C-alpha cells in the first residue's frame, strides 16, 4: 500500500522524502515498480475501468451502494468497502445533483390577462367544448424534455400534444394546432391555459 501511495504521488512530492516519511527504502520502491502487478492489482484495474464506464453512462450518479450492487450483479461477490475505497482513490464518487425545478407558469408579464371564463367548471356537455392546455417536463437519459398537452374535458382524453427541448410559447401553440387540425371543432370552444402566449404570436 505504501509503495502504491508513493507511485500515485510521485509527480507531486519527491520520492526520497515520501520513502523516508513512510519508512520504506528508495531501493525497495524502485524494485517494486519493476515487479509484475499482482492479481489483486489486475482485478482492481478491471473494476476501476468498469466503474468509470458506469459513472459515465449514469452521469456520475452512482454512489458506493449502487455501484456495489451493479458490480455484484456482473462479477459476483465483491466487498462493498473495496468498491468504496477504489471509488475514492480514483475520484469516482457520486456527484451531488442540485434539485431541478422548472417554472412552467410565469405570472410576471406585461401581457393582458384573459378573464377566467372556465371558473373551475371542469364538466363539459359534449366533446370539443372545453379544452385545457398545460405544460410539464419529463426526465430522459438525454436530458429534460418539455411536453405540452391539450385535454378534452368531456372525454378526458388528450387531443393534442407537442414535445421540445425548450420551453416557450411555440410549444403550447404546436399542441393546440395539432388538436385543432385533428378534431376540427365546429361549435363554441372554451380554451383554458396556464401558459402565457403573447398576442403577437397567437394571431
What would the pLDDT profile of 83-128 be if each residue is shown by its tens digit? 888 888 888 877 655 555 555 555 666 666 666 777 777 788 888 8
The separation between the first and the last C-alpha atoms of the chain, rounded to the nearest angstrom, is 72
Statement: residue 178 has pLDDT above 90: yes
DSSP 32: H
Cα 126 from Cα 34, distance rounded (Å): 84
DSSP 105: -
Better-predicted residue by pLDDT, 98 or 201: 98
According to DSSP, the β-strands at 143-152 and 190-193 are unpaired
Cα 43 from Cα 46, distance rounded (Å): 5
What would the pLDDT profile of 36-51 be if each residue is shown by its tens digit? 566 777 788 888 888 8
Task: Give the model's pLDDT for residue 173.
Answer: 87
Statement: residue 141 has pLDDT above 70: no
CB atoms within 10 A of CB 148: 26
Task: Give the model's pLDDT for residue 195.
Answer: 47
pTM of the model: 0.43
Better-predicted residue by pLDDT, 5 or 183: 183
Amino acid at each position: 500500500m505504501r509503495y502504491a501511495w508513493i507511485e500515485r504521488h510521485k509527480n507531486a512530492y519527491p520520492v526520497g522524502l515520501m520513502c523516508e516519511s513512510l519508512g520504506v527504502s528508495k531501493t525497495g520502491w524502485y524494485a517494486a515498480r519493476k515487479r509484475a502487478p499482482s492479481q489483486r492489482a489486475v482485478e482492481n484495474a478491471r473494476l476501476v475501468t468498469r466503474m468509470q464506464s458506469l459513472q459515465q453512462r449514469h452521469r456520475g450518479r452512482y454512489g458506493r451502494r449502487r455501484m456495489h450492487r451493479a458490480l455484484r450483479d456482473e462479477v459476483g461477490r465483491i466487498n462493498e468497502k473495496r468498491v468504496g475505497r477504489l471509488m475514492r482513490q480514483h475520484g469516482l464518487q457520486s456527484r451531488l445533483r442540485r434539485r431541478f425545478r422548472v417554472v412552467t407558469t410565469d405570472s410576471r408579464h406585461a401581457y393582458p390577462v384573459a378573464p377566467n371564463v372556465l371558473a373551475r367548471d371542469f364538466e363539459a356537455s359534449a366533446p370539443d367544448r372545453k379544452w385545457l392546455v398545460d405544460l410539464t417536463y419529463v426526465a430522459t437519459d438525454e436530458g429534460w424534455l418539455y411536453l405540452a398537452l391539450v385535454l378534452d374535458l368531456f372525454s378526458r382524453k388528450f387531443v393534442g400534444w407537442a414535445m421540445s427541448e425548450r420551453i416557450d410559447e411555440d410549444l403550447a401553440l404546436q399542441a393546440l394546432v395539432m388538436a385543432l387540425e385533428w378534431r376540427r371543432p365546429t361549435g363554441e370552444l372554451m380554451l383554458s391555459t396556464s401558459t402565457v402566449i403573447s398576442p403577437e404570436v397567437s394571431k
